[in-house]
Structure formats: structure tokens, C-alpha cells
Chain A
Amino acid sequence: MSDANGKAEGSRTIRVDYLARVEGEGSLHLGIRDGAVEDVRLAIFEPPRFFEALLRGRGFGEAPDITSRICGICPVAYMMSAVHAMENAAGVSIAGPIRDLRRLLYCGEWIESHVLHVAMLHAPDFLGYPDAIAMARDHGEHVRRALGLKKAGNDIVRLLGGREIHPINVRVGGFYKVPTRRELSTLTEPLLRARDAARALVDRVAAFPFPEYEQDYEFVALRHPDEYPFNEGRVVSSRGIDIDVADYDSVFEEFQVPHSTALHARIRGRGSYLVGPLARYALNSDLLSPAARDAAAAVGLGPVCRNPYRSILVRAVEVLHACDEALRLIAAYTPPDAPFVAVPVQDAVGLAATEAPRGLLYHRYRIDASGSILDARIIPPTSQNQGAIEEDLRRVATACLDMPDDALQGRCEQTIRNHDPCISCAAHFLKLTVERT
């Protein structure tokens, strides 16, 4: 991408050729002409990996292991959406200890993924460092404490899943093997320490300098009657959507934009929307653990937060909630009679959405009577957020036009990182084709 033609007076171009501290490869192009932002492009040059194509012809039981490879940062989310979709196809619903263990596994992923983002990828933006390692020279104790907190999340994933990245113990119907009470209880002590670290993280992050900026997003998240959402719930929005996941396709759609092969998502007839921590919090903050709710109130979050820069704070609150929820699940645990329930094979369509750390993750599969996958659709959170991120960029850049280029560039990068885009996840994303007019 270049800006070789048509350079009017007062025009300038901000380019970030390779966006750092995000998962995957993306770039940003911002064209400013005559004091106005003309062109905003968050370009994704992640090469296509064709998961939806390569899933065809695979066994339905293979979907969790294969789709976990879409993303090394949130593999549990892929496994959870896949197993729920396959169980949906079979008409099986999992309750009791297996369901609780799935929630526990999700707690582990939320903790490790959120802390990775909060402390290692996003905090350096607020404190003026290129990365967490440089930050550790001045803020060693904070970085070490965050690493310890992140480890507590990974410990859950490893104990329950076998390993931190691409766990091996998740299967359609449940788990290959479930832990004993004693095994799970080894997590309690580290989690109690993690809980304190999470509370401290909330306070620490609350002191960051947040730019004044609010955006009137339409928030979309799962909503469950009595729990902060991980695996289940209706799809709801801040402007009145309240549907069963089965109706997702009738309300949301993917589309290609003219200059790009990247698929975006929008609400049919309405436009962009936001998934992720801000949305979950706005639609579910009444269901947070008491300590997480208190922490949020103590740092002045309020029931809805529309400042995307403060999403780092919401993530920290969710980490605290995940620690509390993990402790609750471990204390209440009684092993199930069997590690999994049988899931019959039938010619059917199955779909499900779960809450990845970055937001709603939708899977839909059609399988035949032998259990082979006929087609697959996967809509990751970053695809859904792409439109909202570009709208943020346009508004932030317009408000910050007086800044020198390097400061404006830093602000734009931060604006993107607010949403913790996971570009590796966004299996649909591709290099942009630039069209000049």
C-alpha cells in the first residue's frame, strides 16, 4: 500500500505496516486529505488457512481438535463452540459436573488470555513502553505478578486439558478423563493468590490515563439467566436483539467489502456491532461475582462502559470474576459417573455460540448420517468487530488530527489493541486489495 497519487496540500498518510502486540498479522492505512480522514483500512494480511474447507469430510468428533488450531491463544473457545454445536446436532444437552468442568476450563482460558492481553500486550500502550519486557525494567514487580496470575490460568487449562495450547482432553460429549476432587483441589491455593493479584490488577489498571472517548456501540453478547456467560445463553444486544443462537443467521450476516476480501459481519439492515468484554459487561454486569462487581464499582466503571480504552479495565474485572468462578466450581465439584456421555450420530445441522475472551464465537456444521462434516461455518469475534474497530479509528483519527504523525500512529495502534483483535482467529481475513479512485 502506498500513497503515491493525488497528494493534496495538507494531506498525510499514516501507515503501520505490521501491527505489533496482536495475534496474527495486520496493518493499518489511514488516508487524510485536506484535514479530513478520508480512508481508514485495517488490513489483514494473514494468509488464508481454509478451515471451513478442510473440515469437510472430517469426522464430527474431530472438529474440536482441528478448530482449536485456528488460534493458539484461545483454543478452548474453539473446542467449546465445536463440541456444543455437535451436541446440538445430536439433540444432546450436557449438565452437571461435565458442564461445570467446561466452565472451569473456560475460566482458565479467560485468565491466561486476558492477562496476556492486559499486562503484556496492552498495558505498554498506556505506560509508554514498546513491550512488557522493557516495562519490567521499571515495573518488575507488576510484570512478575501478572506473569504469576497468567500462570494460574494456564495451570487450570493444563490440569484439565492436558496442556496450555491446544488442549487434548476435550471431546464431543465431555472429556476423555476427568480429574479427581483431590487433583482439582491443588488449584485452590494458586487461585486464591491469583484472586488477590487480579484485584490488584484492577486497581493498577484503573490508574492508567484513559483518553476521553465514547462510542455508541450496539453491544452483542450471550446472556444466561443466572450466570456470567461462557458456554450458553441467548444472543442479546443493547438495542433489543434477544434470540436463540439457532436464529443467529437470520439476524447477523457476513459480507465482503468492495476493496477487501476480508469478511465483515453486521446486523442485517442495521450495521456494525461490538462483541467482547465491553459487550459482555454491559449486558451481564449484574451476574459478576460479588467481588468482581465491587471491584468494578470501586474503580467507577458503572453498569455500562462505552470507552473502548477502558476495555482493559473490564478485562481485569473479568479476570477477577473468572478466579472467583473457578474457585466456586472447584469447591462444588463431585466427579461425574463417566467422563463423557454418548453423542449419537445423525444427519443434522448443529450450531452453537460461546464467549471467547475476545467475544462471541459462532460455529455451524452440517453432518451426514455417518458423522462426516458436510459443511462448516465459523464466525470468530474479530470478524464481527472489524467494522466497529474501523469506525473507532475514523473517529479517533478525526479527533486527534492535530497530533504529530508518530503520536497519532501510536494512538491508532492503541485504538485497535483496545479490541484485542485476534487475526489468526479470523480465518476469513485476507490481504486487502487496494483500489484507488
Chain B
Amino acid sequence: MMRPKLAVWKFASCDGCQLSLLDCEDELLTVADQVEIAYFMEASRATVAGPYDLSLVEGSITTAHDAERIREVRRQSKRLVTIGACATAGGIQALRNFQDVRAFTEIVYARPGYISTLAQSTPIGQHVLVDFELRGCPIDKHQLLEVIAAFIQRRRPVIRTDSVCTECKRRGTVCVMVADGTPCLGPVTQAGCGAICPSFDRGCYGCFGPTESPNTAALAAWWRRLGASDTDILRAYRNFNAWASPFREESEAHERRER
């Protein structure tokens, strides 16, 4: 039987989400038996021409060239899945979207005239049709394996869309916000990481982006009762998933108040 062809693509990113596949030390060789790794530049020199049955896309679109390239990737892909906060929400580099990108360029480069970059860092879904979005900064490798397995079995991946709070409850972690008064984004953040931060006595900082229907304003009001300022709340929502609508709108509300 022909094995399905898997391709892994990179746009503006840190490489961490595709590395999650190489970090599957116990499963990597099994995965390689099940799918043909046809294009994965971080791992292999060998490339097999498209079309590809499944494309995993990491990174956000920040250049005109990449905006073209993602269309070509889409054309060559039967199914396209974005992996991680950059591909799904624009990533940390979307912080430029709230500022003047030319000023950003001048801060980093002595001769900014050479730099060709778009004014915004945007998620893949803003450019092409995406079949499934896997959240996380970084993604969880077990969720990645589930996505690949689901694809091989021609079913929808089973990925939770409830909040980090439900994961804390399930693992029996005491609520850091209720018990310790530690500001936490858990109530508005999608589950998937395993609620790691609260289990390390730290508030969630929102790596997996907004959960379905988050009440960001109610959480902000709670943070304020714990002593957080508008600046604190602005910074919390404006992070690795800053360009995801619910976080973006909440951060903008506090930016207005900050002034």
C-alpha cells in the first residue's frame, strides 16, 4: 500500500513546532513507517515532489514572497494543517502589527532600506484554506501525533477546545488564582499543554491562545482585583497569540485605558 506523503513547511518561526516531531523519540521511527516523509528540510536533504497528502505548516506570513509560497504549498497539499501559534495566530512576531514596522526595522538594522517585510505578521488561515489548526507555543507533541494518526485513519483529530482550567481540575492542581492570588490566563486559554504552569506554581501565560468563547473582560476585571494594572493586563494578552481576535481586542481595550 502506498504510504501517505507528509510534508513539513516552515515560515517565520523558531523551528520549535516541527522539532516536536523529532522530539518524539519513542514514536519517530514508527511514524516514519506509517507515512512517507516526503519534504522535511529540518530533517532531510531528500525531497519527493508533490502533491502531498498532508502538509504541516509552521510559522507566520511576514514577507510578500512567503505570501506567494503558502499559496503554492496549498496547491500541492490535499490537507493542510497549521502547527503552532505562529501559523495559527501570527506568533510573537505579530507584536509588530500594533506598531510601525519601519520603526521596528530601524531599531534592529543600521541600514533598514534593504529589509523587505510586510507590515503585519499574519496566520496562515488569513491567506489560504486551512483544514485544521493545532494550537500551542510550542505545540504538544502528543497532540501532533494525534493529528497525524487521525489523518492516516481519515477522521477528525480529537483535540480539546475547552480551557486550561479543566486540565487543572482533572490533574488535581490547586487553582493558583483562587488559592494564591496569582494572575492566570487559564480561564480564557485553550487546553492542550496539560496545564503545566499552574502545576509549577505559576499562572498560565496563554501559549495555546484563546479558548472557544473566552470572557476576556471578566478575567481582566478579576486580575484587577488581584492588583494587576492595565499595563500588566495589556502585556498578558499581547504575547505569543497577540493577534488572535479575543486577545487582541482585550489588549487594545487596556491600551486605550493606559493612555
Contacts and interface: CB of A to CB of B under 8 A. Distances in A.
Contact of A133 (B26, B44, B91): B44
A143 interface: yes
A131 B45 contact: yes
Interface string A41-84: 00000111111111010110010011001111101000000000
Given A47-B66, A166-B16, A21 B201 contact: no
A241 B105 CA distance: 33
A366 interface: no
Nearest to A72: B16
Interface in B29-87: 29, 32, 37, 40-46, 62-63, 66
B117 A23 contact: no
A261 B23 contact: no
B187 interface: no
Nearest to A125: B45
Interface in A334-371: 339
Contacts of B111: 256, 261
Nearest to B114: A261
Contacts of A147: 25-26, 28-29
Of the listed residues A49, A130, A169, A433, the one surrounded by the most CB atoms of chain B closer than 10 A to its CB is A49
A162 interface: yes
B116 interface: yes
B248 interface: no
Interface string B90-123: 0111011001000111011111001111000000
A116 interface: yes
A162 B109 contact: no
A142 interface: no
Interface stretch (A101-109, A206-214, A294-302, A424-432): A424-432
Given A72-B138, A168-B197, A424-B13, A120 B43 contact: yes
Given A69-B92, A261-B114, A52 B108 contact: yes
B20 interface: yes
A422 to B, nearest CB: 8
Interface stretch (A28-36, A90-98, A148-156, A243-251): A148-156
Given A20-B41, A23-B15, A72-B14, A54 B95 contact: yes
Given A131-B45, A132-B43, A163 B193 contact: yes
A319 to B, nearest CB: 15
B184 interface: no
A136 interface: yes
A318 interface: no
A166 B138 CA distance: 7
A287 interface: no
B202 interface: yes
A71 B14 contact: yes
Interface string A1-35: 00000000000000000111111110000000000
B3 to A, nearest CB: 12
A204 interface: no
B19 A176 contact: no
Contacts of A40: none
Contacts of A59: 235
Interface size grouping (class) on chain A:
35 or more
A5 B136 CA distance: 47
Q: Counting chain A CB atoms within 10 Å of each CB, which of B14, B42, B43, B99 scores highest?
A: B14
A50 B108 contact: yes
B148 interface: no
Contacts of A19: 41
Contacts of A171: 202
Contacts of B63: 47
B45 A66 contact: no
A165 B20 contact: yes
A164 interface: yes
Contacts of A21: 41-45
Contact of B25 (A23, A75, A148, A428): A148
A133 B6 CA distance: 14
B135 interface: no
A165 B23 contact: yes
Interface string B181-206: 00000000000010011011110010
A151 B62 contact: no
Given A20-B41, A50-B105, A53-B104, A177 B202 contact: yes
A134 interface: yes
Contacts of B128: none
Interface in A359-403: 375
Nearest to B46: A130
A328 interface: no
B41 A75 contact: no
A413 interface: yes
B219 interface: no
A154 B42 CA distance: 19
Contact of A47 (B11, B41, B92, B197): B11
Nearest to B197: A168
A154 B25 contact: yes
A181 interface: no
A162 B197 CA distance: 8
A424 B37 contact: no
A47 B12 contact: yes
Contacts of B205: 65, 168
Contact of A18 (B12, B41, B66, B99): B41
Contacts of B32: 133, 136
A75 B16 contact: yes
A59 B199 CA distance: 23
23 contacts: A19-B41, A20-B41, A20-B44, A22-B42, A48-B109, A50-B104, A50-B105, A50-B108, A53-B96, A53-B104, A54-B92, A62-B235, A69-B14, A69-B240, A71-B16, A72-B138, A130-B44, A131-B43, A133-B28, A140-B29, A165-B20, A256-B111, A433-B114
CB-CB nearest 10 A-B residue pairs = A72-B16, A131-B44, A130-B46, A261-B114, A53-B104, A151-B25, A53-B107, A20-B45, A147-B25, A176-B202
